[in-house]
């Protein structure tokens, strides 16, 4: 793909799509959706914004919309900064992206009152948040590498 910004957008969308599979496994393993599930975030944040409680169906629809925008935008942000890590191994570069997303989310959740306080989450919920951000990072970076062929540098 010639346009690296378009590639980054697509890569973020693919990374988000990969989370769809992981979310099913996560919820089944936990026995419930964690506080940071997109549906729960939509319910908290948008419910306050709209001044009413969202139904489960509404929250699910908004969660889809939030993910559809959020993942590709994260991909585009990564596309702007990944030049320095594109020579790293896929795992190192992808996990770095995942850690960046994790740090951003851990900082943003309390600011936007999007979730219950992190100290109320179970250990498994913390592990799953790390896992899902790492998967997003690795899949997004793998997609970027597939879509964007680096130009060889000449001396």
Domain boundaries of the chain, sorted by first residue: 4-147
Per-residue pLDDT of 70-88, as tens digits, reads 999 999 999 999 888 888 9
| Average pLDDT score, the chain | 93
Q: Tell me what pLDDT residue 112 has.
A: 94
Report, as an integer, the average pLDDT of 20-34. Answer: 95
pLDDT band at 4, cuts 50/70/90? confident
Q: Please report the DSSP string for 93-145 in residue order.
A: HHHHHHHHHHHHHHHHHHHTT-SS-GGGS-HHHHHHHHHHHHHHHHHHHHHHH
């Amino acid at each position: 793909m010639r346009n690296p910004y378009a590639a980054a957008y697509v890569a973020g969308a693919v990374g988000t799509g990969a989370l769809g599979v992981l979310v099913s496994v996560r919820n089944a393993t936990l026995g419930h959706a964690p506080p940071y599930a997109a549906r729960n975030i939509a319910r908290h944040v948008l419910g306050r914004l709209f001044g009413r409680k969202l139904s489960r169906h509404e929250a699910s629809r908004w969660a889809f919309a939030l993910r559809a925008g959020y993942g590709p935008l994260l991909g585009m942000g990564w596309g702007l900064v990944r030049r320095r890590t594109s020579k790293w191994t896929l795992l190192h570069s992808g996990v770095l992206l995942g850690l960046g997303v994790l740090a951003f989310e851990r900082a943003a959740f309390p600011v936007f009152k999007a979730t219950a306080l992190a100290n109320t989450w179970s250990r498994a919920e913390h592990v799953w948040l790390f896992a899902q951000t790492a998967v997003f990072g690795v899949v997004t970076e793998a997609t970027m590498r597939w879509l964007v062929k680096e130009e060889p540098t000449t001396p």
